[in-house]
Amino acid sequence: MCSSDLIQSVFNRDPAARNTFEVITCYSGVQAMLFYRLTHRLWLLKLKWLARFISMLSRWFTGIEIHPGATIGRRFFIDHGMGVVIGETAEIGDDVTLYHGVTLGGTSWQKGKRHPTLGNNVVIGAGAKILGPITLGDHVRVGSNSVVVKSIEAEKTVVGVPGRVLKDKTVKSEHFDSYAVGGSEDDPTIKAINSILKHLHDVDSQLHKVSKELNIKDQKDSSVNGLEIESK
């Protein structure tokens, strides 16, 4: 029941994982996926109440809510897990990683497709919200606490509220800082801080220059006064 690709995905993406027994017994993301595989089969067999009931038990046990109707690909990894919510019509590709507090939610009360679609190798940072029937292309990275409400092209990095694509920033590597917001070079807050620091540096340089000039002047005045005293 616990497939090798699910276990291997943990070893590939979490250096804290030590052995298979620990992964199965201590990783809530793995446990939630095992529950999901059972409930999804029940959902497809039209045993929907039973699927929802077991899904509720899974949420109590793991802190992760995955609707049995969601479609999830291979090697899906939820790190830490607590607070993750995946809606009924969400579709998730292969090798996707979610961190704690992520929501794949809907924005409509209408039936039909109302949750996001994630491509392959997508990484969603901690606390991010992906809302509505939008599509995130392959290799998209979403920074922590971002709110994404529009579709994103493949290999882009998204940060902020509302989510915006970092200019000239394409990502296809496996590395991602789950707690940061991606590249800081396009972040207006970082730009403002850097501007203030530059201004402080310029002011400090000017003060140093003025102080140096005053010291030279004081030395000259002292020399002149000394000569006057000697002449007297």
pLDDT at 195 over 50: yes
C-alpha dihedral over 175, 181, 184, 189, to 10 degrees? -170
What is the reported pLDDT for 218? 63
**Which one is predicted more confidently, 61 or 177?**
61
Q: What is the mean pLDDT of residues 116-142?
A: 93
CB within 8 Å of 92: residues ≥ 6 apart = 70, 71, 72, 73, 76, 86, 104, 117, 118, 122
Residues in the chain: 232
Rounded distance between C-alpha atoms, residue 51 and residue 59, angstroms: 12
Q: What pLDDT is recorded for position 180? A: 45
Q: Rg (Cα) of the chain, in Å, rounded?
A: 28
Half-sphere exposure of 49 (CA within 13 A, CB side): 0
Question: How confident is the model at residue 184, as a pLDDT?
Answer: 52
75 burial type by CB count under 10 A (0-12 exposed, 13-18 middle, 19+ buried): buried
DSSP string, 37-89: HHHHHHHHTT-HHHHHHHHHHHHHHHS-EE-TT-EE-TT-EEES-TT-EE-TT
Question: Which carries the bigger pLDDT value, residue 51 or residue 195?
Answer: 51
Confidence bin at 1 (pLDDT 50/70/90): very low
Residues ≥6 apart with Cβ < 8 Å to 142: 122, 123, 124, 125, 128, 130, 136, 148, 157, 158, 159, 163
Instruction: Report helix, strand or coil for 193.
Output: helix
The DSSP code sequence of 92-137 is E-TT-EEETT-EEE-S-SSSS--S-EE-TT-EE-TT-EEESS-EE-
Question: What pLDDT does 83 receive?
Answer: 92
Distance CA 209, CA 215 (A): 10
Given a cut of 70, is residue 7 above it in pLDDT? yes
Q: What confidence tens digit (pLDDT) does each residue in 129-141 have?
A: 999 999 999 999 9
- Residue 185: phi and psi, rounded to 5, are -65, -15
Superfamily of domain 4-183: Hexapeptide repeat proteins (2.160.10.10)
- Residue predicted with more confidence, 89 or 1: 89
Q: With cut-offs at 50, 70 and 90, classify the pLDDT of residue 38.
A: very high
Lowest model confidence (mean pLDDT) among 24-28, 80-84, 121-125, 165-169: 165-169
